[in-house]
Amino acid sequence: MESLIKLAEAAQSFVLKNWYSRKTFYSVLCAYGVYKVIYYTLLDPLRKIPGPWMARFNTFALGRANVTGDFTRYCLDLHEKYGPVVRIGPNRVSDCKTKDFKKILATYRFRKSANYDGFANVHQSLFSTRSEEFNRMRRRQVGPAFSQTGLDSMDSSVETVCVDAFIEKLNQLVDAGHGSAEFNFFKYYQNVTAEVIGLLAFGERFHAVENGGHEITEWIDASMKNFGLSKSFPIMKVAMAVIPSLSVNETKLRKFCLEAINKRRQLIKTNKIDANQVDILQMLITATNTSNKKPLTDDELIAEMVTMVIAGVDTTSITMTWLTTFYMLYPQIYKRVVDEIRTNFPDKNHKITDKEAREKLPYFIATVYETLRLRGSVGASLNRDVPKEGVELSGYYIPGGTVVGMFIPGCHADTDVWKNPNSYNPDRFMGPDGEELKKEVVSFSTGVRICVGRNLAWMEIFMIMPNLIRNFDLSAPKDWQFSPTILDPTRDNEPLLPNDVTFATRPPANPDRDSRVVITRCA
């Protein structure tokens, strides 16, 4: 043993004396740099993909855009400059062609990329999992709750929140304001969607509407920012585990879900659960994993419930926020929506159901689709790993192992599909051609990993917005910094929109300032 130690010490001494010098270090570093330049210029299989020169070597610019919330603008600028397929890193490509989007998302062959691990909290979930088998299993377990049949069974409960509680709260605000009131629609839409997901996921209400808020929405907002950091810098997940203060809100959200799980288990144990209760938590607690034939663990349950809460609250409320913003910036479109709703539903006491909205409000529905297209709630890319055989996308061969980001906002500006993509024009979705165009809106993704909660999102929007517009007149506050006459030259002189930020979802950057509206009761 002594001889081995002496040999190791001698070898170490030789290396330090003969190789480890400042000159040698810089020589090796320089040689490595030259090798990298030669490789990425002459040998790299992605060298023909256009993009920023530095993207061949690192993802610093991409990481900065993710951290600052500028991801959407960053990628839109790159695609405008370089085309539909752009290199954004040594092993990463961004694609904004709709036909490529559908090709990639149509099959499990293109596996979710490693950045989805950043969205996993204590365990993989329906959203974060990269496993085809796990995804199929979870969809079977929770899918019935989000089917149209499952949602129809919750219709009256959802109506109580989306219509009764929300309209009553707005009436209280108007009464307190002696006939008019200003309210932050971003926050109130969050409150309503939080109530709905409380019912559907946990079987109970948060009373966020009546109380003007619930801390769960604050946890969600903070969690989305941390998820954005984790997906770009995986080391952040380690840091958050070591330094609890970095993930206080995620911890609170997980604790909230665990308490709900334990409460439900106690009700089941004491036979106090309603036999007719059908919600996501009940489905998951009584489910069995096909892999091990065992019930879901606490960590598995928490992971799914956290995912349901975040997805159920954030995306739908953001969609309605941008919809309301567009109404204020395009008064002629807003007037047409108002006329359609109030003509078809003249009785103020009648509560418009989502089914009635689908049947009688085609123009309103067209505005929702146009909002999803032009300012959808998701501003990020859906990243997929290219299988070993590679794939051709828009004339470029992409080798196996490359990460391809299917950039949703870019697809919604694809000029092969959309005429005048910068224009907010709901009429494009009217008539037979419009019905076909609706299939090109990919805000809920498409293919094998399409959003399981899309039916719930439609249900909420089709209940909340028509009843809001039926009962109240909306107008922009006098001090609002935006107007139909303040134009944006980068959008072909369309009205200037409030800034947005992207941490997976795409809310307004400053909702306290930019997401306000004045309401009065309609005549």
Q: Which domain holds residue 95?
A: 44-521
- Residue 4: band (very low, low, confident or very high) from pLDDT cuts 50, 70, 90: very low
Spatial CA neighbour of 464 closest among 372, 353, 367, 370: 353
Supply the CATH number for residue 373's domain.
Answer: 1.10.630.10
Encoded tokens for 124: 């993989």
Sheet holding 472-475, edge to edge: 180-184, 516-521, 472-475
Spatial CA neighbour of 328 closest among 159, 521, 186: 186
Residue at 136 is within a domain: yes
Helix axis angle, 298-329 to 362-375, nearest 10°: 110
| 162 assigned binding-site residue | no
- Residue 12: band (very low, low, confident or very high) from pLDDT cuts 50, 70, 90: low
Residue at 493 is within a domain: yes
Question: How confident is the model at residue 230, as a pLDDT?
Answer: 72
Contact 54, 486 (CB under 8 A): no
Instruction: Report the C-alpha gap between 415 and 475 in whole angstroms.
Output: 33
- Residue 2: band (very low, low, confident or very high) from pLDDT cuts 50, 70, 90: low
Contact 202, 214 (CB under 8 A): no
Return the SS3 of 350. coil
Neighbours of 5 (CB within 10 A): 9
Mean pLDDT (whole number) for 336-364: 96
Instruction: Report the C-alpha gap between 166 and 127 in whole angstroms.
Output: 29
Residue at 35 is within a domain: no
Residue at 14 is within a domain: no
Instruction: Report the C-alpha gap between 46 and 130 in whole angstroms.
Output: 24
Residue at 401 is within a domain: yes
Encoded tokens for 500: 């947005």
Q: How many Cα neighbours within 13 Å face the side chain of 518? A: 10
Residue at 24 is within a domain: no
C-alpha angle 415/419/421, rounded to 5°?
70
The total domain count for the chain is 1
Residue at 375 is within a domain: yes
Question: How confident is the model at residue 417, as a pLDDT?
Answer: 97
> Which amino acid would we find at residue 107?
T
Residue at 381 is within a domain: yes
Mean pLDDT (whole number) for 365-382: 96
- With a cut of 70, say whether residue 22 has pLDDT above it: no
